[in-house]
C-alpha cells in the first residue's frame, strides 16, 4: 500500500505542477471546480440516502456528468469524500522544500500541518458534515487514516533530510541508518544544504526522533481538529493548534541549537541564540528593543495588582 500511495503522491505532484504552467490556470480551476461539484454531490447523497446505498452512477448523475467523468477525478466514491487532500499535500511539500535552512525544522513542520487545518477551516459546514459521516462508516475511517499517514511520512522525510544534511555538512559523509536513509531527502531539497551543527541528536536516534516528532505534530493537529469539529466548527481552532505546538516544542525541542532561529524571533546583539531561561530570554528581548541600552529587571509578587507593577517600573525608569 505504501508503494501505491507513494506513486499516487508523485502523480498528483506531476499533474498539479503541469497545471500551474502558463496558459493552464483556467483548466486547473475548472478541474478543481469539477472535483468540488462531485464531492458536494457525493456528500449530499451520502447524507440523504446513506453511504452504502449510494453508487458512483448516482453521484455522477447528481453532478450532471457521465460515470467515466467521475473516474477522471476520483478512483472511488470514498475518495470523493477527501477532494482537497491531494492538492494540500503538494502545497505542504512545496512549503517544506522552500523553507530556509536556518529555520527551526519543527517550526517548518508545524507550518506545514497548518495548511491542512486551513483546508478544513475554509469550509466549516462541509468539514463538520464529513466528520459526522466518517464516524459512521468504517471504510471512510480507514481511508482517513491512510490520508493522515501521507502527511506524517512527508514530515518524517523532511526531518530526516535535515538530519542528513547536518551529517553531510559536519562530517563530510552521510550516516548510514539502514532503510530510513533511502527516503531521507525525498521531496525536501535538503541534501547538501548547510544546517547548523547540533541538529544531529545522536546518530542512531535521529530516525526515531524524526518519526516521533512528525507523529506528535500530526496527532496534535488531529486532536485539535476533532475537538473543533465536535463543537460544530466553532472557536479559534488556529489558536488552539498554536498552543499544542508550544507544548510539543517544549517537550521535544526545548532549546534550539546555536545558529538556528525560530520563525519570527529576534536575537538581541550580544545575546546567545540558545538562551535557556525565561530571564535570559526577557533580557534578550529588552536588548533587541534598545540596542546598547541598559536592562531593567523587576521583581514582583504574582498576586500584586498590575497597576502597582507598572507604577514601580515607571518609577525605576524615571517616567
Cβ atoms of 207 and 177 closer than 8 Å: yes
Model confidence at 21, in pLDDT bands (50, 70, 90)? low
Q: What is the pLDDT of residues 214-253, one digit of tens each?
A: 999 999 999 999 999 999 999 999 999 999 999 888 877 6
Q: What is the CA radius of gyration of the chain?
A: 24
**How high is the pLDDT of residue 294?**
57
Q: Does the pLDDT at position 111 exceed 70?
A: yes
Phi, psi angle pair for 261, to nearest 5°: -110, 150
Model confidence at 263, in pLDDT bands (50, 70, 90)? low
**How high is the pLDDT of residue 319?**
64
**How high is the pLDDT of residue 78?**
85
The CA distance from 81 to 12, in Å, is 17
- Mean pLDDT to the nearest integer, 157-173: 61
**How high is the pLDDT of residue 236?**
92
Cβ atoms of 78 and 139 closer than 8 Å: yes
CA atoms within 13 A on the CB side of 119: 19
CA atoms within 13 A on the CB side of 185: 15
Three-class secondary structure of residue 211 per DSSP: helix
Higher pLDDT: 106 or 272? It is 106
Q: Does the pLDDT at position 87 exceed 80?
A: yes
Q: What is the pLDDT of residues 270-290, one digit of tens each?
A: 444 444 444 444 434 443 444
Model confidence at 260, in pLDDT bands (50, 70, 90)? low
Residues 6+ apart with CB under 8 A from 36: 83
**How high is the pLDDT of residue 79?**
86
Beta bridge partners of 103: 261
Kindly report the number of other CB atoms within 10 A of residue 119's CB atom.
18
Q: What is the pLDDT of residues 30-74, one digit of tens each?
A: 888 898 889 889 988 988 888 899 999 999 999 999 999 999 999
The CA distance from 295 to 89, in Å, is 46
Q: What is the pLDDT of residues 171-198, one digit of tens each?
A: 333 333 333 333 333 333 333 343 434 4
Q: How far is CA 299 from CA 1, 271, 288, 308, in A?
A: 59, 22, 21, 12
Model confidence at 98, in pLDDT bands (50, 70, 90)? very high
Higher pLDDT: 83 or 128? It is 128
Kindly report the number of other CB atoms within 10 A of residue 79's CB atom.
17
Residues 6+ apart with CB under 8 A from 23: none
Cell for 115? 495548511
Average pLDDT of the chain is 73
The CA distance from 244 to 225, in Å, is 11
pTM assigned to the model: 0.63
In the block, residue with C-alpha cell 534598545: 290
The CA distance from 88 to 119, in Å, is 7
Model confidence at 131, in pLDDT bands (50, 70, 90)? very high
The CA distance from 1 to 311, in Å, is 65
**How high is the pLDDT of residue 175?**
39
Amino acid at each position: 500500500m505504501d508503494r501505491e500511495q507513494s506513486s499516487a503522491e508523485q502523480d498528483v505532484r506531476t499533474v498539479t505542477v503541469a497545471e500551474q504552467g502558463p496558459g493552464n490556470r483556467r483548466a486547473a480551476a475548472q478541474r478543481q471546480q469539477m472535483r468540488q461539484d462531485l464531492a458536494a454531490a457525493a456528500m449530499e447523497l451520502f447524507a440523504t440516502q446513506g453511504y452504502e446505498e449510494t453508487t458512483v452512477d448516482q453521484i455522477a448523475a447528481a453532478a450532471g456528468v457521465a460515470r467515466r467523468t467521475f473516474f477522471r477525478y476520483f478512483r472511488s466514491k470514498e475518495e470523493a469524500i477527501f477532494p482537497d487532500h491531494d492538492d494540500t499535500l503538494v502545497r505542504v511539500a512545496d512549503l517544506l522544500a522552500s523553507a530556509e535552512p536556518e529555520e527551526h525544522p519543527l517550526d517548518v513542520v508545524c507550518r506545514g500541518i497548518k495548511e491542512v487545518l486551513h483546508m478544513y477551516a475554509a469550509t466549516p459546514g462541509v468539514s463538520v458534515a464529513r466528520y459526522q459521516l466518517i464516524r459512521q462508516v468504517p471504510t471512510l475511517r480507514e481511508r482517513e487514516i491512510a490520508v493522515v499517514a501521507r502527511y506524517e511520512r512527508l514530515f518524517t522525510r523532511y526531518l530526516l533530510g535535515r538530519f542528513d544534511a547536518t551529517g553531510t555538512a559536519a562530517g563530510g559523509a552521510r550516516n548510514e541508518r539502514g532503510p530510513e536513509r533511502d527516503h531521507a531527502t525525498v521531496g525536501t531539497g535538503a541534501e547538501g544544504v548547510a544546517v547548523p551543527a547540533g541538529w544531529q541528536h545522536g546518530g542512531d536516534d535521529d530516525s526515531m526522533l524524526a518519526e516521533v516528532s512528525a507523529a506528535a505534530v500530526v496527532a496534535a493537529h488531529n486532536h485539535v481538529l476533532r475537538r473543533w469539529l465536535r463543537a460544530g466548527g466553532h472557536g479559534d481552532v488556529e489558536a488552539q493548534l498554536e498552543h499544542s505546538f508550544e507544548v510539543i516544542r517544549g517537550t521535544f525541542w526545548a532549546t534550539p541549537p546555536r545558529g538556528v532561529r525560530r520563525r519570527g524571533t529576534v536575537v538581541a546583539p550580544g545575546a546567545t541564540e540558545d538562551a535557556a531561561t525565561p530571564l535570559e530570554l526577557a533580557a534578550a528581548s529588552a536588548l533587541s528593543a534598545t540596542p546598547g541600552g541598559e536592562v531593567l529587571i523587576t521583581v514582583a509578587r504574582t498576586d500584586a495588582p498590575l497597576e502597582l507593577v507598572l507604577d514601580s517600573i515607571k518609577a525605576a525608569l524615571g517616567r
